[in-house]
Amino acid sequence: MLDFCNHLDENKNRILKQTALLADDLGYKIYLVGGTVRDIILNKEPLDIDLVLEGNALEFARILQRCLGGELKTHEQFLTATINWPDFSLDLISARKEIYKSYGSLPEISLGNITDDLKRRDFTINAMAVYLMDGKLLDPFGGIDDLKKGLVRILHKNSFKEDPTRILRAARYLARLKFKLEKSTYKEIKKAKVYLTDVSSSRKKNEFIKIANEKGGLKALKLLEGWGVLPYILPGVKLKKINKSFMDYFNVNIGLKEKWLILLMAIYWQTADQLQDILKVRFDLTNKEKQCLEWLINNKALLLRLTKSDIKLSFLNIHRLLYNTPPEIEVFLLWLLGEKRKLYLKEIKMARQQIKLPLSGKDLLEQGVPPGPMVGELLSALEDQILLGKISSRDEALKWLETRLEN
């Protein structure tokens, strides 16, 4: 029935065949679309499967999940659903028309057919569909031709103005697929880049995360820099300063979840004239993420010393850098240390552990310390003494306190 699916691994193939038959039984037309079609044509195994249904995808997804199992997530507002299995997921979208009332904001959506759905898409290479029942390819914008030529091309000239995040997507595809930008598409990027100012911080963040998670992420960012787009995403950085091996550590050692944040810090650390410019990044940051960026700025002097080849920081300083910080800070520090990483591994591990103090605040009050800020100051000084190895027991701590109070 469906030669197209034979490119896929056995499990995906089986699920798609069952999906096609069920849709047909229920009188729905269902299509493979977008990146899934593109990747299959390029002979790459797609990570996820995108399907468009002419009709209400939510209703169909509920029935499909009862037949095939998996975990169903629905997005009622957008009439979309996802079924997740441990090794892949299936995205089901109701075929739709999109109308942009103003540039840069989200479009108004209404139900449509597969042609409407392909028309609303970003690039010709992503605007193809395969009818799941007979494997027939729909390619109204010449996607196959552009795949062969290795070109990223928009479908119409307002595409980037309507959705400026597509500029970032273009750079991502160019870097990933090693494609070129079609000439008039490039001209439209030049005209539309200012519209990125109006894009919400959460959409910018999402696109940056996707770029950071690509193997060729740095290449995509360099393309954006060449197009004059980077200041809208990462104000104040100059990627020219980054050396070739910069990404190696990120691609090998860092999990996807934290990669973008550490990469962001590393890029600003290595290339920004003013480290403070990192606070100009508009990414809808969580408190933890803000804490990381502020940590970078607040510890600049100590971090600079840490990277100097002839200096070895004390454990006390390492503890100060790491204590009570999110785990991303530790990963960033390991990147920053580079060759000196081995020198600090043990200390870094220990520095994150909480120090058990031999005296409590109550003990201090009993020893005559007046209530107030002095209690906290003394406890923190005591912690430093322990980290320096000068105090290791309660008796030593009491003696130290006595001397401090006398002075």
Which residues are near ligand CTP by CB under 6 A?
34-35, 50, 121-122, 126, 163, 165-166, 169
The angle formed by the CA atoms of residues 134, 136 and 140, to the nearest 5 degrees, is 150
Contact 297/278 with Cβ under 8 angstroms? yes
Choose between 77 and 324: whose C-beta lies nearer to ligand CTP: 77
Please, what is the minimum distance in Å from the beta carbon of residue 229 to ligand CTP? 15
Choose between 117 and 383: whose C-beta lies nearer to ligand CTP: 117
Choose between 54 and 122: whose C-beta lies nearer to ligand CTP: 122
Please, what is the minimum distance in Å from the beta carbon of residue 149 to ligand CTP? 18
From residue 52, how far is each of 33, 70, 120, 154, 401 by CA, in Å?
7, 19, 13, 20, 72
3-class DSSP state for residue 29? strand
Please, what is the minimum distance in Å from the beta carbon of residue 230 to ligand CTP? 19
Choose between 24 and 98: whose C-beta lies nearer to ligand CTP: 98
Please, what is the minimum distance in Å from the beta carbon of residue 289 to ligand CTP? 22
Please, what is the minimum distance in Å from the beta carbon of residue 35 to ligand CTP? 2
Please, what is the minimum distance in Å from the beta carbon of residue 255 to ligand CTP? 18
Please, what is the minimum distance in Å from the beta carbon of residue 201 to ligand CTP? 16
Choose between 158 and 317: whose C-beta lies nearer to ligand CTP: 158
d(CA 316, CA 338) in angstroms, rounded, equals 20
Where on the phi/psi map is residue 373: left (φ > 0), alpha (ψ -120 to 50), or beta?
alpha
Residues 6 or more apart whose Cβ sits within 8 Å of residue 290: none
Report the DSSP pairing between strands 29-33 and 49-54. Answer: antiparallel
Identity of the residue numbered 50 = D
Phi/psi at 358 (5° precision): -75, -10
Please, what is the minimum distance in Å from the beta carbon of residue 303 to ligand CTP? 34
Burial class (CB in 10 A: 0-12, 13-18, 19+), 331: buried
From residue 281, how far is each of 39, 196, 331 by CA, in Å?
33, 13, 21
Choose between 34 and 104: whose C-beta lies nearer to ligand CTP: 34
Choose between 35 and 140: whose C-beta lies nearer to ligand CTP: 35
Residues 6 or more apart whose Cβ sits within 8 Å of residue 194: none
% helix, strand, coil for the chain, step of 5: 60, 10, 30
Choose between 169 and 319: whose C-beta lies nearer to ligand CTP: 169
